[in-house]
Amino acid sequence: MNPESRSPAVPREFVDALRDGRNFLLSSHAHPDGDAIGAEVALARLLGTVGRSATIWNVDPAPATYAGVIGDMAIHVGPTPPPGFPGDFDFVLPLECPQLDRTGLEQSLGRLPILNMDHHLGNRLYGVANWVDTEAPAVAEMVLRLAHALNAPIDAATANALYLGLSTDTGSFRFSNATPRAFDAAAELVRLGARPEQIAGWLYESRPPGAVRLLGEVLETLELHCEQRIASVRLELDMFDRAGAAQTDSEGLIDHPRSIRGVEAVALFRERPVGDVKVSLRSRGRVDVGAIASRRGGGGHRNAAGCLIGSREDESGVIAELGAAVEATAQSGCTHATAPEGGT
């Protein structure tokens, strides 16, 4: 099955530019996610099969979770350029970057002609050729289509790398970008040798014990406010010790209070050694937590944002603002509650 039959064609000028080059520098955004790593690894492998060379250069290392997909492919990490830069390279190809500065390497990368390949709204079209497909479920799906356009053979390891990107960017096919195109691409990748069960094992069944214990500690602090439409949890300094957890083990904690029925906004209050508190905010639908974070000098988007507050005493103020934001979007108001309902 050819997914291009249902997707817009790869722009001719993009394919032509790619055919003009011999040696490519691939990059993606800081803190690379599954789509960044999966698309980079797959594209590097594919370029190799059509007689080109590719080097991956990211500012941040890949999470250990993706090691199985990276295999023995070398990824150059950090601000120092890889050997041969820039003279040996014909093009730089940033993946998944709406702006070049998302790479964290923009001071260096701008010296080379850029082929810009992305699926984000608002991409700044900063390349000598730009392929921005906002309907693509993942950049990995665009790489799959590019392979077809280049007549590049796709082996099982490449298919697995693309599947990593597709499955992580669609939230295991649970987000709104779990479109027919996403499933068409998944079917093709599995036919080519991708292994969904293996990828899921790496992503979801390889949690450090400390992360699981830390989740237990944090959930013990769960409080509901405002007729259970707001949830808050606290991450205290001594929890890491008690749980035997690393700092990175706090990833994903906020998803649990967010999964509670009827909850529209969530705050995670994380104590920092310097004495202040980092606030992570999440919301569903029209509740704008970005505005709340912005008023306190933080940043983010409508449904995901963050800021700093001086101390735990200020937490109730944040909850009150969340209450106002929830009320502002609701048909019926909810009683302001800085005191928790229920809770432990």
Instruction: Give min distance, CB of 334 to a copy of itself, in A.
Output: 15
Residues that contact a copy of itself, how many (by CB under 8 A): 50
Tell me the C-alpha to C-alpha distance, in Å, between residue 86 and each of 58, 59, 80, 112, 129. Answer: 15, 16, 12, 7, 19
- Residue of 50, 67, 219, 328 that binds a copy of itself (CB under 8 A): 219
User: Are 210 and 243 in contact, with CB atoms under 8 Å apart?
Assistant: yes
- Residue of 217, 264, 271, 315 that binds a copy of itself (CB under 8 A): 217
Instruction: Give min distance, CB of 179 to a copy of itself, in A.
Output: 6
- Residue of 207, 295, 301, 302 that binds a copy of itself (CB under 8 A): 207
**Residue 1 vs 9, nearer CB to a copy of itself:** 1
Backbone angles phi, psi at 281, to 5 degrees: -120, 140
Instruction: Determine the 3-state secondary structure of 53 from DSSP.
Output: strand
Which long-range contacts (C-beta less than 8 Å, at least 24 apart) are formed by 197-200? 198/68, 198/160, 199/69, 199/160, 199/163, 199/164, 199/167, 200/167, 200/172
Interaction with a copy of itself in 147-206: which residues (CB under 8 A)? 167, 171-176, 178-180, 183-184, 186-188, 190-191, 196-197, 200, 204-206
- Residue of 99, 228, 303, 329 that binds a copy of itself (CB under 8 A): 228
Q: Which residues contact 55 (CB under 8 A, 6 or more apart)?
A: 23, 24, 25, 26, 44, 74, 76, 82, 84, 89
330 is a site residue for a copy of itself (CB under 8 A)? no
Backbone angles phi, psi at 130, to 5 degrees: -125, 130
Longest dimension (CA), the chain: 66
**Residue 12 vs 207, nearer CB to a copy of itself:** 207
Find where tokens 């970005």 sit. 290
Instruction: Give min distance, CB of 71 to a copy of itself, in A.
Output: 19
The span from the CA of 251 to the CA of 248, in Å, is: 6
Please report, in angstroms and rounded to a whole number, the separation of the first and last CA atoms in the chain. Answer: 54
Instruction: Give min distance, CB of 5 to a copy of itself, in A.
Output: 10
Instruction: Determine the 3-state secondary structure of 36 from DSSP.
Output: helix
Over the window 235 to 264, marking each residue x when it contacts a copy of itself by CB under 8 A and - when it does not, the resulting string is: -------xxx-----------xxxxxx---
**Residue 53 vs 303, nearer CB to a copy of itself:** 303
8 is a site residue for a copy of itself (CB under 8 A)? no
Give the number of other Cβ atoms within 10 Å of residue 39's Cβ: 32
Over the window 266 to 305, marking each residue x when it contacts a copy of itself by CB under 8 A and - when it does not, the resulting string is: ----------------------------------------
Which residues would be at the binding site for a copy of itself (CB under 8 A)?
1, 167, 171-176, 178-180, 183-184, 186-188, 190-191, 196-197, 200, 204-209, 212-213, 215-220, 222, 224, 228, 231, 242-244, 256-261, 342, 344
